[in-house]
């Protein structure tokens, strides 16, 4: 039980470190995806019911799994995939226009 919390916390820290230190747009997008996955892992771990049954015709209400967090996670996965696709498409456009994906070079050219 504690291992999943520790794993998600470590993944969150790794992705935040990667977001703060990455010099490339693609690396930033990958770190953002790792952050999303670790938050989803943490969210699913919080609402996990060990030995729980499906909410379809439950025998006992105490061991029933709540379907709302699972529905929210599926929605978050779809939104995350869409945001990733959009970010990658925009990074391709930035590369074609400026010839680089380095954050510092892009900020120097615009600033």
Could you tell me the pLDDT band of residue 60, with boundaries at 50, 70 and 90?
Answer: low
pLDDT of residue 70: 87
CB of 64 closer than 8 Å to CB of 70: no
Please compute the mean of the pLDDT values over residues 91-96 and round it to a whole number: 96
Output the pLDDT for position 95.
95
| Per-position b or e across 72-91, b if 16+ CB within 10 A of its CB | ebeeeeeebeeeeeebeeeb
Measured distance CA(90)–CA(94) in Å, rounded: 6
Structure tokens at 29: 């997008």
pLDDT band at 65 (very low <50, low <70, confident <90, very high): confident
Domain-by-domain residue ranges, the chain?
Answer: 2-46+67-110
The SS3 of residue 59 is coil
> What's the whole-model pTM score?
0.83
Structure tokens at 59: 């025998």
pLDDT at 49: 75
Q: Could you tell me the two tokens for 19?
A: 């977001």
Topology, domain 2-46+67-110: Helix Hairpins (1.10.287)
Residue 35 CB neighbour total at 10 angstroms: 19
| Tens-place pLDDT, residues 24-49 | 999 999 999 999 999 999 998 888 87
């Amino acid at each position: 039980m504690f291992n999943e919390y520790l794993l998600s916390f470590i993944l969150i820290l790794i992705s935040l470190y990667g977001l703060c230190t990455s010099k490339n747009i693609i690396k930033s997008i990958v770190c953002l995806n790792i952050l999303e996955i670790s938050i989803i892992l943490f969210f699913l771990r919080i609402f996990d019911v060990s030995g729980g049954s499906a909410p379809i015709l439950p025998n006992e209400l105490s061991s029933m799994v709540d379907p709302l967090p699972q529905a929210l996670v599926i929605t978050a996965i779809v939104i995350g995939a869409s945001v990733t696709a959009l970010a990658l498409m925009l990074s391709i456009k930035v590369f074609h226009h400026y010839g680089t994906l380095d954050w510092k070079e892009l900020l120097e050219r615009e600033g």
